Structure 1
Amino acid sequence: MKGASGTEQRIREAAFRALAEHGYADLTIVDIGDELGQNPSLIYHYFDSKDELLLSMLDVFVDLFVTGVDEEPVHDPEAELRQVVAQLLHPDPVRVQQVMESPPTDIETAMSRVFVELWGHAIWDDDFRAETTALEERVREAITAILRTGIERGEFRPVDPKLTADHLFFLLMQATHTRATTNWETATDRVEEIVDDIIDDIARDD
């Protein structure tokens, strides 16, 4: 949520926490004001509606999962690929603190819930759909770039980088969705095992 004023950032963080607690359908500006510890009228000085606020809040996903990954040169393809996977499934507390001053205590659960709520709303809202599409494309492109660099350097087997990136990305998104919507407590662990096997396979020496 870079580039926002201090008050705007606090409002967005309060909306993030409130959305994780209440869900999109039940979330109100009053709930966000309560989470913020301020009169809800303050929020309307910065955002015209709940949807405008939540749409801008998608920046947190950009800052946590994309910013930096697709901007820096690739130095260690295998290590950086594993880092992207780890950050998507288990957001690093240090990175979270850089992005959010007051994150939820259980950031993994909150992130999964907010992901499901916002992506679910994108079914009905074209503006949200455009933003979620752009965000997903940036993540897939970042993974593709890491794979392509590893292949060019001979550190990865010559797989199709885009197809492999899509495969990894869909697995990771499904893990996030499953963690928030089912009681399959080991789903994330299982996806990590599958992804590790894929990376081990493409990184092995033949």
Structure 2
Amino acid sequence: MNQLTDASDTRESIMRATYCALCEHGYADLTMQDIAAEFEKSKLLIHYHYETKEDLFVAFLDYLLENLREHVETIENDDPAERLRELFDLFLSGPSDDEKRDFHVALLELRAQAPYSDDYRKQLRRNDRYLHDLVADIVRDGVEASQFDSTDSDETVTVLLATGDGVRIRRATLGVNDADGAIDDLFARYLGWEETA
């Protein structure tokens, strides 16, 4: 049991060090030494768990998915429309400071490597599938509760998530923060949902 706890603590520390190094250096210029500099233990321990930078970042993408799942579990609202709004607020929460902005830029760089790495692409697809299924479940719940118009949920979810990705890319690359109106328009157009304020 103690060894499992130690392994979990080590993994968490490596993932946190990876996050900090990404924010500081971006993905393209990041080295294992940069990550080791943020890690309180030895660089050898990082290499013991992850042989290559690619192995480490596949694990990091999985770690981000785990964190998303944990955050989603904190959404306690039973109302499908409100759950969808809270999820998109979480998904689209824009960088509020330089560190978050730097992280989003580094993550965009990492995603840009997917065409050249089967392992990155597989993990990103896994992350995307989780998010797609989660939003699709909420949309179906909203249709059943007569909050949303009867709709092709797969197409709707694809459009909503593609728009969400576009908003995040615009924030990371252009520094614009114009999501709220676009997302509200999409909710109205694809779900027939008019938010009552």
TM-score for both structures, normalised by structure 2: 0.82
- Asked if 1:62 is matched to 2:52, the reply is no
Of 149, 158, 171 in structure 2, the residue corresponding to residue 166 of structure 1 is: 158
Offset from partner CA, 1:30-70 (integer Å, 9 cap, x none): 11111124432231122111111111001232123345748
Offset from partner CA, 1:80-123 (integer Å, 9 cap, x none): 000111111117xxxxxxxxxxxxx7563144123212211111
Of 186, 191, 194 in structure 1, the residue corresponding to residue 182 of structure 2 is: 194
Of 133, 142, 150 in structure 2, the residue corresponding to residue 150 of structure 1 is: 142
What is the number of residues matched between the two proteins?
188
Answer with 34-43 or 134-143: which moved more: 34-43
Report % sequence identity. Answer: 27
Of 86, 89, 95 in structure 2, the residue corresponding to residue 86 of structure 1 is: 89
Residue 57 and residue 88 in structure 1: after superposition, are their counterparts in 2 closer, same or farther (change >3 A)?
A: same
| Counterpart-to-counterpart distance in 1, 2:26 and 2:57 | 12
- Asked if 1:203 is matched to 2:185, the reply is no
Structure 2 residues without counterparts, runs of 5 or longer? none
Q: Is the 8 A contact 1:122 1:129 kept in 2?
A: yes
**RMSD of aligned alpha carbons:** 2.8
- For 1:198, give the aligned amino acid: L
Q: Is the 8 A contact 2:62 2:127 kept in 1?
A: no
- For 1:62, give the aligned amino acid: L
- For 2:193, give the aligned amino acid: A
How far the C-alpha of 1:78 sits from its partner, in A, is: 0.6
- For 2:140, give the aligned amino acid: R
Which protein has the bigger helix share?
2
Correspondence for 1:19: 22
